[in-house]
Amino acid sequence: MDIFEAIKGRRAIKHYDPNHKMSAHEERQLLESAMLSPTAFNIQNWRFVIVRDMEIRKQIRAVAWDQTQVTDASMLVVLCGNLDAWKQDPQRYWRNAPQPVQEFLVPAIKQYYEGKPQVQRDEAMRSCGMAGQTIMLAAKAMGYDTCPMDGFDYDAVGKILKLREGMVISFMIAIGKKMQDSWPRPGQLAYDEVVLENGF
Amino acid sequence: MDIFEAIKGRRAIKHYDPNHKMSAHEERQLLESAMLSPTAFNIQNWRFVIVRDMEIRKQIRAVAWDQTQVTDASMLVVLCGNLDAWKQDPQRYWRNAPQPVQEFLVPAIKQYYEGKPQVQRDEAMRSCGMAGQTIMLAAKAMGYDTCPMDGFDYDAVGKILKLREGMVISFMIAIGKKMQDSWPRPGQLAYDEVVLENGF
């Protein structure tokens, strides 16, 4: 599918066919696409949790305003940020680069993140945002719709998923076969309010 | 361009033709595409600052590790998050939705963000991440390359752009005609390290 068609056609869809199954191949294509999204210093600071177990989906739905897409979508992916990616053997993120590039970049990673929890967290949210948009656009091209979600109790979902120390949840995406359209875009801002030139 | 081709072909490019100009139409197509990216509650909590003025570009480059793409790219966009979007007449984000939807959603916005600065900031980073990936993929489809950047002094760039109270910089994207390829992907993680099932 053409990219502009996917960008224009992507809408947050709430109602999915609960009987539709995505193939293992489709799942993998989607998440391998997400893994090609950019991250600063190539730290790949995302982890994607596919929630397959319907009991776990039900538990999540119970702390997500009972939104039906949590259980009805073919796939539910929780995008998590790894706050410690920068210090987990960062050499490996550049192992195939020329030696001088490695020698310059790898120490810069530590310098950028060490002792800066807000910088680590911002990076987690930003990286997951980019990867999430890749998932949503790729899914659209594959004939699916998506719903990005942050309307849930983060602490409760963290407990349900046994979130590891050093990981944060960024958001979730439900993916599946649409049963019902969304309403038209409900109130878009004017271009000139959003796009500025040279500063504020 | 097909979406998977854009996802696979997108790489962070550092060297741009300084003489290439993008047309006003291309710029607008790119940023209008970005404005179709999802945001929670449709709060559209991003602002895109196009830095046209070469003097300002030079000032930014001086606080961005002297990276040449800051001045040489055809377009430099600073993606900013609006921390206060949730309280700036939120009714307008849902003005075209059915009345019951408005009545349910608009009060929920305030409830979700009020008094929660970290939630507001996470949302800013996440929304800008999604919009940024839209820009990078759309640019690729338009025959351009991009470089997402967070290697700069945020406070200094904030001052240069006269960043308003309540706005935060998420990251910058340089966009233009590539002069030199990037090296091959330098060290990608294995699928099984990134993709988990049902929890940690």
A47 vs B contacts (CB less than 8 Å): 194-196
CB nearest to A97's CB, from B160, B186, B196? B186
Average pLDDT over residues B55-63: 98
Q: The complex's ipTM?
A: 0.98
Q: In sequence order, what are the beta bridge partners of A75?
A: A175
Q: Choose the mutation target among A137, A152, A185, A192 for the interface with B, i.e. most B CBs under 10 Å.
A: A137
CB nearest to B130's CB, from A31, A130, A185? A130
Going across the sheet that includes A195-197, the strands are A195-197, B46-50, B75-82, B167-176, B145-149
Tokens 């911002």 belong to which residue? Answer: A122
Q: Write out pLDDT tens, residues B140-198.
A: 999 999 999 999 999 999 999 999 999 999 999 999 999 999 989 999 999 999 999 99
Q: Write out pLDDT tens, residues B84-96.
A: 999 999 999 999 9
- Model confidence band, residue A188 (pLDDT cutoffs 50, 70, 90): very high
Average pLDDT taken over every residue of chain B: 97
Q: For residue A180, give the nearest of A13, A19, A63 by alpha carbon.
A: A13
B52 vs A contacts (CB less than 8 Å): 197-198
* pLDDT greater than 90 at residue A142: yes
The span from the CA of A195 to the CA of A188, in Å, is 13
The number of C-beta contacts closer than 8 angstroms across A and B is 252
Phi and psi for B167 in degrees, rounded to 5?
-110, 145
Average pLDDT over residues A114-122: 98
Q: Write out pLDDT tens, residues A20-78.
A: 999 999 999 999 999 999 999 999 999 999 999 999 999 999 999 999 999 999 999 99
Stated as kind and residue range, the H or E segment containing A190 is none
A42 vs B contacts (CB less than 8 Å): 185-187
Q: For position B31, what pLDDT does the model report?
A: 98
- Model confidence band, residue B6 (pLDDT cutoffs 50, 70, 90): very high
Domains within chain B, CATH numbers bracketed: 3-194 (3.40.109.10)
Q: Tell if the CB–CB gap between A36 and B8 is shorter than 8 Å.
A: yes
* pLDDT greater than 90 at residue A12: yes
